[in-house]
Amino acid sequence: MPDEATLLIEHAADHLKPLLVFLLCTGCRASEAFDLKWADVDLRGKRATVWQKQGRQRFIDLCPTALHWLQDIEWRDGYVFRPVRLTKGAPIIGERYHDAGRQYGGQMKRGWAGACRRAGFAGRIREWTPKGSKKVSSIFVPELTPHCLRHTWASWHYCVHKDILRLQSDGDWSDIGVVTEYAKLMPDAYKDDIIRWWSHGPNIAKIP
């Protein structure tokens, strides 16, 4: 729901906030966002171009919220979304998220889990004893995955537009049957909330 999306953004690490907003506003696959370069973003034209593994391109129209959060990113070359790690308390910005050749995900696994835990989303604690250690380690494993944001966007899209063919085209699905698996029926009462989210974004402080 839109208020839960705001809660997620509010509790995400600063460098993850623009990425999560982008996914919720565009329905892009996480792999498409990780591979997005500034050379393929037209802020004036309000459009981004993402590429498939087969070399096929598709255009993404940027709603006001996506556009505003992209404009707040400080760099304008190379990859748009980059990982950040702390070294002696100082942030070190990487050149890009790990390139997995789109064979698997997990590039923001820790940051995603942290945001979900702080937002109070459902999950479980996994415990294990590392090899050679007597101390038990634990980690929070959320029920949701980053790919759930694509399901969220599809559900929002259909709630607003009520157009399954437009959703199939905008989401780049080849089979309309898959579209029906992604889009969940939401009460019409949420339509204005979704439009407001895409127009003005989550009501939280932006990245510095």
Percent of the chain whose pLDDT exceeds 70 = 94
Q: What is the pLDDT of residue 207?
A: 53
| Residues 8 and 197 sit within 8 Å (Cβ to Cβ) | no
Q: Is residue 196's pLDDT more than 60?
A: yes
End-to-end CA distance of the chain: 26
When pLDDT is cut at 50, 70 and 90, the band that residue 43 belongs to is: very high
Q: What is the CATH number of domain 2-107?
A: 1.10.443.10
Residue 191 CA from chain centroid, whole number: 20
Q: What is the pLDDT of residue 18?
A: 96
Residue position matching structure tokens 């989401």? 171
pTM over 0.75: yes
| Residues 108 and 16 sit within 8 Å (Cβ to Cβ) | yes
Q: What is the pLDDT of residue 105?
A: 60
Q: Where are the domains of the chain?
A: 2-107, 147-197
Q: What is the pLDDT of residue 102?
A: 61
Q: What is the pLDDT of residue 92?
A: 83
56-77: pLDDT as tens digits: 888 999 999 999 999 999 999 9
| Residues 197 and 3 sit within 8 Å (Cβ to Cβ) | no
**Residue 78 Ramachandran class (φ > 0 left, ψ -120 to 50 alpha, else beta):** left
Taking residues 32-60, report their average pLDDT.
Answer: 90
Q: What is the pLDDT of residue 95?
A: 86
Tell me which amino acid residue 17 is: K
98-123: pLDDT as tens digits: 776 665 567 889 999 999 999 999 99
Q: What is the pLDDT of residue 205?
A: 64
| Residues 179 and 168 sit within 8 Å (Cβ to Cβ) | yes
Sequence-separated (6 or more) residues with CB below 8 Å from residue 88: none
